[in-house]
Structure 1
Amino acid sequence: MKCQNDQNEDIYVLLAQSIEINESTFQILSQILQREKIQDSLEFLSSCQNQRKVELEILQEQRLNVEKNDVKKITNFLCHIKDHEFNKVNYSKKEYKKVKENLITNISNNKKIIELLKFLVHLTAVDQQYIQCGSNSLHLLVEMKAELNTQSFENIKIKNTSLQGANFIRCNFSGSEFDNVCISGINISEAKLFNCKWKNISINEEIKLNGHRNCVNSVCFSPDGNSLASSSDDNFILWWDLKTGKIKSAFQRQREVKQVCFSPNGDTLASCNGKFIYLWNYKTGKQISKLIRHVSDIQSVCFSPDGTTLGSGSQDMSIRLWDVKIRQQKAKLDGYRDSVQSVCFSSDGNTIASCSLDMYICLWDFKTGYQKSKLRGHEDGVNTVCFSSDGTTLASGSRD
């Protein structure tokens, strides 16, 4: 199939072609190309026989009266985008800043174009001809703050771009390859990264955050990746703007602040100092609530994956579970003989892991509050525990 293409054609004009295409067509076509292991998607889709085959499967999958020419339109788009500079140059470079800003202004609220960009990202998993195009697409999705949480991006190949500040919570990147990619400030909490390949990965170290006057005890990225909260023995909680490196807000407590933790939706920040837990409205910076039940200093706070429950561990040897909505304690878990240093929820929210200076790690059933198991392996107090993204492995750290 021969394509006549103007190298300087506005990339928005090309992307806007997706407005006439059913959104779910991109998802189903991507699945077909990956299932059939099509290495040259343009050649495959240029065949009228293959187009009819794909259209039939899409119609069966959607069970809708979609446009018969959807596949042909996508084929024409792939033909034109293949030789466009969008598939040749790195759009994250400074010289493309204005072009990119104008593009994002035009497409940020267009769901169909966003689905097209996701399709181009998925296309890199099978067709190497579109790796730069897919890489630029993922960069644009990150820059426009598109919803990417829990997305499956298995086996994609991303090259020569920046994913700075990306929010990839619970995404699946298993089998993917990243080459010459900036990953500064990305949030990959609970993401699946099995068998990933990383080459020439860079981290932007231009921003050094100076503001605390004593030991920093805890740092936590906001889910959108734009801010960072930190707590310190200087009694302060600081909120940082990661783009500028400047302090957005500062809150002074009466004692050292042991830990800070964002809720999964980013609306609430939890902090603990002394015997109290404080909940803060992230947008306004105002205190929402003060939770009181522990009788000794609190060492750890952690939100459940759905954000409805907050867990806390204390020197009073107990774990408390709090209902975030009504801001009341709903359970108390006992079983330690020394300070509880860390609390962590599994990704499915069904299990709570905790550790103590008594050298034990406990696993608790979230629904019943019963202790499922008690693990002993360290020869000194255990300070921290953390589940893997799939919940099958638990890591622990100790003074031994």
Structure 2
Amino acid sequence: MAVSLDLTDNSAREALAASARANTVEMPTLIGLTRPQLAETLKQAGVPERQVRMRVQQLWHWLYVRGVSDFDDMTNVSKDLRAMLKENFSIARPEIVEEQVSADGTRKWLLRFPSRGAGRPVEVETVYIPEEGRGTLCVSSQVGCTLTCTFCHTGTQRLVRNLTSEEIVSQLLLARDRLGDFPDRDTPQGAIVPSEGRKVSNVVMMGMGEPLYNYDNVRDALLVFADGDGLSLSKRRITLSTSGVVPGIVRIGEETGVMLAISLHATNDALRDELVPINKKYPLKELLDACRAYPGLSNARRITFEYVMLKGVNDSLADAKELVRLLKGIPAKINLIPFNKWPGSAYECSDWEQIEKFADFINANGYASPIRTPRGQDILAACGQLKSASERMKKTERLAYEAMMIAGHGD
């Protein structure tokens, strides 16, 4: 049975209070900056140039190794510097609107961020999937999406805005807070997490939005995730999933070195034009050529091709044969994803027997073809089910909302 957690315990109250303070006045943040960006920010704030390198290292340690969200906790930083940082910058976590736990241990957070041009505060969903030996965090890159993939719930929410690198990184920091994955933090009683090692060991950019349509912010966040002296996630445990924004594919590989996943879902242009409309701009041949050129591609660094199983649409053995033909020569793994139903969807999931036949054929032809176990369906946290209520306000609505906020002093 799914549950929504009560956020009235002390730690949750403190996190929410910090978020509320940060959201009342939008101060610049230090979270999500790359090392060079953090150094430049400190110089601009008046930190002497001879101290900048040391200060960057100190702050990096406190933010990403110790996981602090209050400058006062940075005990080896001078009081004067802490006071200056506190007066000018924020390192607060986002507000948790809701935290849900699935019967299978999957957790979903609905997080609220400042408007930043959207008219009112915006909300996104982040999902944690615990498995034996690893814990995977599914991170969002946009509020809504522009791609309108017909089988995806997120695609029914129009794009509101891109997330900043801070907002992307904050999803991981908050998850590690809530799971007790920072030093001196306790794991919530009864939480399902890996039996040893890190609670969040893997990150997938597979949440709301198309990561390569928010390129700069996503790239910077990935570099922070992978920094060896901070969050220190292996690049082989970070995966970026794209629906096929061809110009960004090779570039993101060159600049970050993370793993690549492609939302494929069809074996011909006509069907993919319908399921994944970006295919009209970047058809299959261009997409697969970019995949073959992905930096570091090898049998040890395979591309994952995601293929949602839609009954009577793309699940025939003829489709399986064409899939094998298309991917010939590309070191690849093919994830078969049973379609996760959402309200209003016109599609049905393929019969389980048909999914297994499809998988058996692909495996017999030399490609690993795991069938993804549906997770978090009871809280709409499964693949393709994420969506928030955020919508971009019209100008007249935004002006009225801002006037109301001023009259109510931001309450």
TM-score over 0.5 for the pair: no
Which one has a bigger Cα radius of gyration?
1
Answer 1 or 2: higher relative contact order, Cα 8 Å, separation at least 6: 2
Structure number with the higher helix fraction is 2
Structure with greater strand percent: 1
TM-score, normalization by structure 1 = 0.29
What TM-score results when the alignment is normalised by the length of structure 2? 0.29
